[in-house]
Structure 1
Amino acid sequence: MIGKLNHVAIAVPDLVAAADQYRGLGASVSAPQDLAEHGVTVVFVELPNTKIELLHPFGETSPITSFLDKNPSGGIHHLCFEVDDIKAASARIVETGARILGDGQPKIGAHGKPVIFVHPKDFQGTLIEFEQA
C-alpha cells in the first residue's frame, strides 16, 4: 500500500527566507501557493529523490500558527507518502486502528491530488499525509 516518500514538510516562520536559503544552495524552488482549505501557503523545494514542502500560515485559523507558537524557529511538520488508491489506503488505515483527521474524507492537496492526514498519536508521534500517486 505505502509508496515512495513524496515530501518532508517543514513549518517555517519566514517563507521567503526559507525559500531563499534552499535557492542559495542551488535547489529549484517553486512559487508560493496559497491553500486556503488547508490554511497554509506552500513552497516546494525540488530535490533529485524527493521534495521539501515549506509551510507557512495562511489565514487566521491555520494549523501552522499553533505549530509555530510551540516551535518559533519552525521544524518538521509531517511526512507525505504516496499511495496508489487513496480510498483503499483510507480503509486500510482505519482497519489498523489509526484515525484520519478531519471528516475522514480525502481533500485536494497542493499537487492537485487527493490527500488524507493520519493523527500523529496513531503513527509514532508523527503527522503523516498520504497522497494519491
Structure 2
Amino acid sequence: MRLGRLNHIGVATPSIADSIRYYRDTMGAVRITEPFDLPEQGVKVCFVDTPDSTGEVGKGTQIELIEPYDESSPINNFLAKNPAGGQHHVCYEVEDIEQAREWFEGKSKRILGPTRIGAHGTPIFFLHPKDMMGQLTEIMETAPKDQGSGH
C-alpha cells in the first residue's frame, strides 16, 4: 500500500449554514458545494474547496463540513464534547481500498465498520484514533480520472 494525497479534513459542526458563512466571510473561500444529506452515514455534508500551490481553487485539499443528520448521528457524541465543533478526521487517498484495508489489518489497526461508499462516491473506511496517533483517519479510494475526486 502507498499513501496518497490528503483529500480532506473533516470538520464537525452543529450548523453547516453557520460554517459556510465562516469559511466564506472569514476565510475567504470562493467555492463551497451545496450541502447534501447522507442519511445512511447519519450526516449532512458539504465541501469547501481550497486552492492548490498555484492558486487554482478546487485542486487543493478540501474541508468537509459535517453536521448531524438526526439524533442517531455518529458525530453527536463528538459535538457533545465539542459544542462549537472542530476537526473530526483526516482523509487520505489510496489507489486500492481493499489492499489498504488488508495492509492496516496486517498492522493490527482497528477498522471501524465495513468498507462503504463515502461522500465523494468512492469506497472508504475509518481507522480508530487510538491506533492512528489520536486521529480518526478515513481511507478513501482515489476516484477514477473521469470522475474526479469530489472537487
TM-score range, shorter chain: over 0.9
Between the two proteins, the alignment pairs up a number of residues equal to: 131
4+ long deviations beyond 6 Å: none
- Of residues 31, 35, 50, the one that matches 2:34 is 31
TM-score (norm 2): 0.84
CA displacement at 1:60 relative to structure 2:
2.0
Q: 2: CA distance between counterparts of 1:27 and 1:38?
A: 27
Higher strand content, 1 or 2: 1
The equivalent residue for 2:63 is 52
AA at the equivalent of 2:82: N
Give the counterpart letter for 2:121 in structure 1. Answer: G
Which whole-Å CA distance do the structure 1 matches of 2:62 and 2:29 have between them? 14
Displacement of 1:13 in angstroms is 1.3
User: CA contact under 8 A between 2:29 and 2:49: conserved in structure 1?
Assistant: no
Preserved CA contact (<8 Å) 2:29 2:50: no
Which is greater in Rg?
2
CA–CA separation in structure 1 for the residues paired with 2:23 and 2:85: 15
Of the structure 1 ranges 26-35 and 5-14, higher mean CA displacement relative to structure 2 is found in 26-35
Match of 2:101 among 73, 81, 90: 90
Aligned residue among 81, 85, 93 for 1:74? 85
Structure 1, 11-20 or 74-83: larger mean CA deviation: 11-20
- Unaligned 5+ runs, structure 1: none
Q: How far off its partner does 1:26 sit? A: 3.4
When normalised by structure 1's length, the TM-score is: 0.95
> Post-superposition shift, 1:59?
2.0
> What do you get for the CA RMSD once the two structures are aligned?
0.9
Given that 2:37 and 2:45 are in contact with CA atoms closer than 8 Å, whether structure 1 keeps it comes out as yes
Which among 100, 113, 120 is matched to residue 129 of structure 2?
Answer: 120
